[in-house]
Amino acid sequence: MASDSLPTREMPQAYTGQVRLRVCGLLVHNDTLLLTAHRGLLPDSKPFWSPPGGGWQFGETIQECLRREFREETGLEVTVGRFLHLHEHQSNGLQALELFFEVTALDPTAVPRLGSDPEHSADEQLLLELAYVSPRQLVVLPALQVHPVLRQIISTDDVFIPQIRFQQ
């Protein structure tokens, strides 16, 4: 049985040894979810798929954080909707609390593009790919390559069922 924890074996040092609060957005389009693939989180350079999002910065609201993260990672301007999920993670020097919100694109015809993370230099970017991924595509990936919040969904409707996941 797969663990609910996030992989941290190759976690970049910038994220270890501190508590992080991450804000993530779930954007559904045509029965798919907009997800980002990250490098450096799993052994053997395997991608880790998760919703766009990132660290909450001092002085900004949670909604401002999520809009900023979506702009940086996808190029999309979004409206932040209802709170959906809370996910706690703690292992291998990483401690994070993640808040997941429903988001919608301000322009439903806008095409997302892979952005970058300003905290990392061009040769140290963690973002590898941006794609609309169906639950059917997620279920065939090894569990460790998929964010725990998305591991057991069978429909995009499942992401709208609020849940709280504490690490045990």
Q: Residues 23, 69: contact at Cβ < 8 Å?
A: yes
- Residue 162 confidence class, pLDDT cut points 50, 70, 90: confident
Digit-coded pLDDT (tens) for 8-59: 334 455 566 678 899 999 999 999 999 999 886 676 778 999 999 999 999 9
pLDDT of residue 7: 42
- Binning pLDDT at 50, 70 and 90, where does residue 1 land? very low
Residue indicated by tokens 């919040």: 149
Whether the per-residue pLDDT at 70 is higher than 90: the answer is yes
**Mean of per-residue pLDDT scores for the chain:** 85
Q: Where are the beta strands (DSSP E) in the chain?
A: 18-26, 28-29, 32-38, 48-50, 53-55, 78-91, 94-105, 127-133, 163-165
Nearest Cα neighbor of 29 from 114, 116, 133, 99 is 133
Give residue 39's pLDDT: 81
Residue 136 φ/ψ, nearest 5 degrees: -65, -35
Long-range CB pairs of 67-70, under 8 A, 24+ apart, other chains included: 69/23, 69/24, 69/25, 70/25, 70/27, 70/103
The rounded distance, in Å, linking the Cα atoms of 23 and 96 is 10
Q: What is the pLDDT of residues 83-95, one digit of tens each?
A: 999 999 776 677 8
Which of residues 137 and 6 earns the better pLDDT score?
137
Q: What is the mean pLDDT of residues 67-94?
A: 91
The yes-or-no verdict on residue 60 having pLDDT over 50 is yes
Residue 154 has pLDDT above 50, yes or no: yes
Question: What pLDDT sits at residue 67?
Answer: 98
Q: What is the pLDDT of residues 124-139, one digit of tens each?
A: 667 889 999 999 999 9
Percentage of residues in the chain having pLDDT higher than 70: 83
pLDDT at position 16, please? 66
**Does 3.20.20.70 match the CATH number of domain 13-165?**
no
